[in-house]
A and B are shown apart, each in its own frame.
Chain A
Amino acid sequence: MDARFLPLFVVVPMASAFLIPLFSRLWPRFADLIANAAGAALLGLSVNGALCLFANSQVLLYHMGGWASALGITLEYDHLTALVLLAVNTVGLAALLFSVRYLDHYTGRWKFFSLFMLVLAGLNGVTITGDIFNMFVFIEISAVSSYALVAFGTDFDELEAGFKYMVIGEIGGTAILLAIALLYAKASTLNMAVVSQVMAGFGHTPLFWFIVATFLVGFAVKMAMVPFHAWLPDAHPSAPAPVSALLSGVFIKVLGVYAMSRVMFNVFGLSRANAAPLFNLLLAFGVLSIIAGGLLACAQKDYKRLLAYSSISQIGYILIGLGIGNYWGIVGALFHILAHALGKGLLFLTAGSVEHATGTRDLDKLSGLEKNMPVTAWSYLLGSLSLAGVPPFAGFFSKLFIIIGALSAKMYWLAVLAALFSTVTLGYLVKVVNKAFFGRKDLEPTPAREAPASMALAMLGLLVLTVALGIGFKPVLDKLVGPAANVLLQGLGYAQGVLGR
């Protein structure tokens, strides 16, 4: 199977983003149809690509326009790309299916779908491109569309959160552009593989560390690492629920963690062996994220704000997995990307379902919802068990791998911290269960109706995938996550894979 399907990952959502405004003037529901068809097509493409990759296990390359590697943009598809694309398109399709009924609250339906398609186009584009300026352009496409989506309801809170998110996020984007300018000044090319070859002979001068630090600042703002996290607790609750699911589940990971690890490991060739201070810095920020996110989440009264702080904490787990730097740490981090995307997407969709049915997100006002909304309640319970690391769900295995990685690098305190804070995670997630769903038998159950069929279908789909990922972790580990970790660990060897053909 050759690589001709690679541009379709970007063309399908972008073409539907341009067609939706045209066709919705004829019939308003056309937007739903086009958007969901595009989402399903993207999921089909990513599953197809992953199966192709399992069959013959060779990096797929596509030269746009026929230009050779050093002159033009190449799209490259290896195991890490396959993993991230599966996460992005699964959560994207679930959110699209959910928003068919959820958008009855909002006006301007087709604008939502058009912006959502642009976000998906940007996310797919960041993952699949092999050219560093192209990655920046797609980062900005998805970021600007997400600023508009966060402020979609144009109510008081949403406007404030959207403006704050926008200013902070754009400063991060500008930092990435500055770093790309400095990198181009030294390497004279934009293709990631050729740049990594130049960087191999460059040496770790102060200019090198300045470029690395500027990239780190830019990506840290996008992924809400702790000193730069101030936008996330306001932006994720204020967005409409499917957008929150996409943002928390996928966006901060693709734009932040995937882009950072691709640049750090493959382009710059850094690893634990030759850049230990940088990895210790990542560990420090990760630990800070886990502690700050976890403790602040315990004090929240708003359903979605609690989940947003939990996202900060889980990004901390992924960061310590990357900061440990050996095979099991990176495997744990990548597996946690999958598990957290599915789990947190599911939790935000249940929050949207509760808001759709009762009109409020305040935990003090909700009680006993499991009588009237059983699907939502059980989805929340099983999803939160997965995120807290309870076997046999997916989150247990990812935290287990991170702890194994910490132990084999002899960082015992890190393993203890990871295990301790997964108890804290279970604590604050169960708090929602106690208040809103299964507990408080003394209060009257809040009047509510179960979620409509399409919303319930989206939630059940994500739930089934979370359970399946947990039970069937071994084939996923061997065929997808393990080779993806090897892609990152081989560092500068990435260039051989891309340029040798």
Chain B
Amino acid sequence: MIAMFACMVLLLVGLYAVVIKRNIIRIIIGFSLVEYAVNLFFALVGFKHNGIPPIITDVAQSRSNFVDPVPQALVLTAIVIGLATTALMLALAMRIYEKYRTFDVTEIRRLKG
């Protein structure tokens, strides 16, 4: 339970970084924090007291204490999506640096109205 509150705090810290910071790289790091927090929250959904990892090592084994494996598989997919998103953001940041010669978000505001 405490872990879930910690996830929410991490989410808010990441969101703060995305909204307030001016350097593009810091915005991307803040966004990675948001992704971590949501993935961690999702993986914690399958928690069970005295649970064991859901790996079958012996066919005739008791499976009633297995931690839920579905959120783990879903979090794997979400991590891959987060990787693709971060890579694309970094590629865009590199191109922005080549064109504008700065990483400061307040200086790349040519579109108005």
Contact = CB atoms under 8 A, between A and B. Distances in A.
Interface of A: 133, 137, 140, 144, 147-148, 151, 154-157, 159-163, 166-167, 170-171, 174, 177-178, 180-181, 184-185, 190, 233-234, 238, 299-300, 305
Interface of B: 15, 18, 24, 27, 31, 34-35, 38, 41-42, 45, 70-71, 74, 77-78, 81, 84-85, 88-89, 92-93, 95-96, 99-100, 108-111, 113
A163 B38 contact: no
Contacts of A174: 34-35, 38
Given A163-B92, A181-B41, A185-B45, A144 B110 contact: no
A371 to B, nearest CB: 30
The DSSP consensus for interface residues of chain A is helix
Contact of A167 (B31, B78, B100): B31
B100 A156 contact: yes
11 contacts: A133-B74, A144-B84, A144-B88, A148-B88, A154-B95, A159-B92, A159-B96, A160-B110, A160-B111, A171-B15, A181-B38
B25 to A, nearest CB: 12
B111 A157 contact: yes
A285 to B, nearest CB: 22
Contact of B92 (A157, A166, A177, A305): A166
Nearest to B47: A185
A144 B81 contact: yes
- Name the residue in A148, A181, A299 with the highest tally of chain B Cβ atoms < 10 Å from its Cβ: A181
Contacts of B100: 156
Contacts of B95: 151, 154, 159
Nearest to A235: B111
A241 to B, nearest CB: 17
B111 A234 contact: yes
A156 B99 contact: yes
B18 A167 contact: yes
Given A170-B85, A299-B113, A151 B78 contact: no
Given A184-B45, A190-B70, A156 B88 contact: no
Nearest to A175: B38
Contacts of B108: 159-160, 163
A177 B89 contact: no
B38 A178 contact: yes
